[in-house]
């Protein structure tokens, strides 16, 4: 090396390593003024993917406009999308590379079909945005949606890293037909999240701790801008989370703040904290709030979705919660462990008797239609139009759930 370093090296780190870490890596990056790229790699999978990791590292650095640097990598079997995200995070933290516009994107997995506004949303599985190991197989467990979470499950010092990780996951991880949701941070931080992830076609954005309709409008505006700029035609729905007394009081205005709001949901941990009461398995303390969310959602013609059930070992409690939740008008709830998905789906499925009754009503309705009759009757009873509508909806949902063919 003949040139003389004039500036102190700038450095940045990202990721995790160690015996307990799986499917992640740690990158220590140091920007230099000369000398090209120097990489030191230790990897659990070195015999199989050592040279692939080195190649990818060079590719990512080149893409980011890094010419001279040292990268020390400890890999614990991370997949390529995670490797790229960690390197990019370390480079950005070092203030290196050719600037903000530069990023490395993993191979694009074909996007699933666009998500209809009224699709089935019985279960949405939370995945911490900074834990790539949970992403790859999440959809196998059959949730209606996954939530790549940038908010409460991500440490405040890791927000930048999680954002990049989630962006890469949206682009490359095969989530099958599972709806891909992202929970952004509270505004204004959430706007930075949007800037990173909206370009990768999420199906729905969850906005936490919404108290005013303006917050929804602001998110909606930013999404629209990015969609227009990037030429995205797929819909991106919005689900505001109401987590405070004020948010609950404003539920109706929030639900109608944008035509892109597809559902309204409630966050009970924060809500009960706001009230200063304990969150109980029976949930009496949140009865009013939950009913209000259901009512506001239905008034606005959007779905009402319940909170999560926190005890992953208590399947009976979860089932009771889910059944009670459906009984008051919720259409789904969150889950924090794949083991909860099946129980939730069963809890939100109409009973066989309900389905059979609805099918009889629908058959009677269709018969009346074909005969050109304005009045639907079943046996000796006349069936009111709202009952017919409810039956049609229930049969549709039962079909979507696979309860009937």
Partner 1 sequence: MSEQLELTENALRRKVPATVNGKQQVPFSGVGKFQPHGRKAAPPISSNKDYPDTGDKRFPDLETALRKCGLRDGMVISNHHHLRDGDKVAMMALEAASRLGVKDLLWFPSASFPSQKSAIDLMEEGVIHHIEGSMNGPLGDYCTQGKMRGMGVLRSHGGRYQAIQDGEVHIDVAVIAAPTADFFGNADGSHGKSACGSLGFALADSIYADRVIVVTDNLVPFPCVPWQIQGNYVDCVVEVASIGDPAKIVSGTTQITRSPDRLRIAEFVAQFLRESGIMKNGFSFQAGAGGIALAFVQYLKGLMKEDGVKARFVRGGSTKFLVEMLQEGLTDYILDGQTFDLDGVKSMANDSRHVATSPFTSYNYHGKGNFASLVDAVVLGATEVDVNFNANVVTHSDGRLLHGIGGWQNCLFSGCSILALPSFRDRIPVIVDEVTTLTGPGEMIDVIVTERGIAINPRRTDLLHAVMGSKLPIRPIQDIKSEVEKICGGKPARPKLGDRPCAIVKWVDGTVLDTVWQVG
C-beta separation of 97 from 91 below 8 A: yes
The edge-to-edge listing of strands for the beta sheet with 69-75 is 10-15, 25-31, 69-75, 37-43
Position among 108, 137, 351, 377 found at the interface with partner 1 (CB under 8 A):
137
56 binds partner 1 (CB under 8 A): yes
DSSP 351-366: PHHHHHHHHHHHHHHH
Least distance from partner 1 to the Cβ atom of residue 354, Å: 24
Among 40, 174, 351, 377, binds partner 1 (CB under 8 A): 174
**Binding positions for partner 1, 246-285, rule CB under 8 A:** none
Distance CA 287, CA 304 (A): 14
* Count of residues engaged in binding partner 1, rule: CB under 8 A: 24
In the complex, the smallest distance separating the C-beta of residue 331 from partner 1, rounded to whole angstroms, is 24
Contacts to partner 1 from residues 323-382, by CB under 8 A: 337-339
User: Which member of 45, 299, 352, 363 binds partner 1 (CB under 8 A)?
Assistant: 45
When the beta carbons of 95 and 339 are compared against partner 1, the nearer one is 339
Looking at the Cβ atoms of 20 and 157, the one nearer to partner 1 is: 20
Indicate the burial class of 230 (C-beta count within 10 angstroms; 0-12, 13-18, 19 or more): exposed
Query: Nearer to partner 1 by C-beta: 227 or 337?
Result: 337
Q: Cα torsion for 164, 218, 208, 137, to the nearest 10°?
A: -40
Question: In sequence order, what are the beta bridge partners of 73?
Answer: 27, 41
- Residue 177 touching partner 1 (CB under 8 A): no
Q: Which residues contact 256 (CB under 8 A, 6 or more apart)?
A: 213, 300
Q: Which is nearer to partner 1, 133 or 159 (CB)?
A: 133
Reading the block at residue 125, the tokens are 């599985």
User: Residue 141 interacts with partner 1 (CB under 8 A)?
Assistant: yes
> Cβ contacts of residue 54 below 8 Å, gap of 6+?
39, 41
Distances, alpha carbon 250 to alpha carbons 221, 247, 276, 323, in Å: 20, 5, 20, 26
CA distance 168 to 175: 13
What mask, x for binding partner 1 by CB under 8 A, covers residues 12 to 31?
----------xx--------
Site for partner 1 in 75-114 (CB under 8 A): 76-80
Give the Cα-Cα-Cα angle 111, 116, 122 (nearest 5 degrees).
Answer: 100
Query: Residue 59 or 354: which CB sits closer to partner 1?
Result: 59
Question: Given candidates 16, 26, 32, 44, which one binds partner 1 under the rule CB under 8 A?
Answer: 44
Interacting span for partner 1 (CB under 8 A) from 136-144, 274-282, 287-295, 297-305: 136-144
Per CB under 8 A, the segment of 31-39, 45-53, 246-254, 300-308 that binds partner 1 is 45-53
- Binding segment for partner 1 (CB under 8 A), chosen from 134-142, 253-261, 363-371, 379-387, is 134-142
- Closest by CA to 198, choosing from 154, 160, 167, 176, is 167
Q: Do the beta carbons of residue 69 and residue 38 sit within 8 Å?
A: yes
CB of residue 83 vs partner 1: minimum separation in angstroms?
A: 8
- Stretch of 62-70, 135-143, 232-240, 255-263 lying at the interface with partner 1 (CB under 8 A): 135-143
As beta bridge partners, residue 38 has 70
| 213 Cβ neighbours under 8 A, 6+ residues apart | 250, 253, 254, 256, 257
Looking at the Cβ atoms of 199 and 338, the one nearer to partner 1 is 338
Query: Under the rule (CB under 8 A), what is the footprint of partner 1?
Result: 22-23, 44-45, 47-52, 56, 76-80, 136-137, 140-141, 174, 337-339
């Amino acid at each position: 090396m003949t040139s003389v370093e004039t500036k102190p090296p700038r450095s940045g780190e990202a990721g995790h390593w160690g015996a307990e870490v799986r499917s992640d890596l740690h990158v220590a990056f140091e920007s230099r003024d000369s000398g090209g790229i120097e990489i030191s790699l230790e990897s659990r999978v070195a015999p199989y993917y050592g040279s692939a990791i080195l190649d990818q590292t060079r590719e990512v650095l080149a893409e980011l406009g890094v010419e001279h640097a040292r990268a020390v990598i400890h890999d614990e079997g991370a997949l390529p999308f995670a490797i790229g995200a960690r390197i990019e995070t370390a480079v950005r933290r070092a203030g290196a590379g050719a600037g903000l516009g530069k990023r490395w994107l993993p191979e694009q997995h074909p996007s699933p079909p666009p998500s209809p506004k009224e699709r089935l949303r019985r279960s949405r599985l939370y995945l911490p945005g900074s834990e790539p190991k949970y992403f790859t197989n999440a959809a196998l467990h059959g949730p209606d949606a996954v939530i790549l979470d940038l908010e409460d499950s991500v440490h405040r010092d890791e927000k930048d890293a999680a954002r990049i990780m989630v962006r890469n996951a949206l682009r490359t991880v095969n989530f099958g037909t599972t709806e891909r949701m992202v929970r952004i941070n509270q505004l204004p931080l959430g706007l930075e999240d949007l800037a990173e992830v909206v370009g990768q076609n999420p199906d729905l954005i969850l906005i936490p701790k919404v108290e005013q309709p303006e917050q929804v409008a602001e998110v909606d505006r930013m999404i629209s801008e990015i969609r227009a700029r990037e030429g995205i035609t797929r819909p991106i729905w919005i689900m505001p989370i109401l987590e405070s007394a004020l948010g609950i009081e404003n539920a109706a205005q929030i639900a109608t703040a944008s035509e892109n709001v597809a559902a309204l949901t409630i966050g009970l941990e924060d809500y009960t904290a706001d009230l200063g009461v304990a969150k109980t398995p029976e949930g009496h303390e949140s009865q009013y709030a939950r009913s209000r969310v259901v009512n506001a959602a239905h008034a606005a013609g959007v779905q009402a979705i319940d909170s999560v059930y926190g005890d992953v070992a208590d399947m009976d409690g979860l089932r009771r919660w889910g059944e009670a939740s459906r009984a008051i008008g919720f259409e789904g709830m969150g889950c924090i462990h794949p083991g909860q998905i099946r129980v939730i789906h069963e809890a939100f499925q109409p009973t066989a008797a309900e389905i059979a009754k609805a099918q009889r009503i629908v058959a009677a309705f269709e018969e009346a239609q074909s005969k050109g009759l304005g009045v639907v009757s079943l046996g000796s009873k006349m069936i009111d139009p709202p009952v017919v509508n409810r039956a049609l909806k229930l049969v549709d949902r039962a079909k979507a759930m696979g309860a009937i063919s």
